[in-house]
Structure 1
Amino acid sequence: MTNYYPRETVEFLAVTVTVDGAPVTDNVEFCVTPVGERPELWDAPTVLDNRIGVMVQNQEPGNYRVWARVTDNPEIPVVDCGYYTVA
């Protein structure tokens, strides 16, 4: 995913999360970080029209990476879902 947004935007960014090739929508949390930083604080996904994702809003210009964490048993995979740019 590579999307470009003006810094004034308020927009839903749908994110497809896959584990072992299968899409996952349950037990998913997201973290958005500036590119180069590691995920620390996780939030529940935003849900819109039966899709999960994150809201792009109130961010300084720069590149941001979207991370997903899937709670499963016994694994808890963290997935790099791509990045977007705020201009």
Structure 2
Amino acid sequence: MSLSKTQSYRLGGLLAVMANDEIDLDLIKESIEDGFVIYTNGRLKLSEDGLSEKNRLCTLAGLNIKYKSEAKRCHTNTNTRIAK
């Protein structure tokens, strides 16, 4: 399934936050207002809701993009093998 323009824009912003990349100011404001991104210790970070939204959008797009900590958490919860 393909993402809508809005979903693609949002996913791009969430992935940019993950990568600590340059992000459009309007997108950041919107993501903070929606509770997906928080500003802490001088940098932007995905909130728990942001992680859930990123995972939801990635699933819809057929992608599997995770932080190492997310992969470890999934690995301890299942017997799925994680590639190194």
The two structures have a TM-score, normalised by structure 1, of 0.29
Higher helix share: 2
State which structure, 1 or 2, has the greater radius of gyration over its C-alpha atoms: 2
Higher strand share: 1
The two structures have a TM-score, normalised by structure 2, of 0.30
Instruction: Pick 1 or 2: higher relative contact order, CA cutoff 8 A, min separation 6.
Output: 1
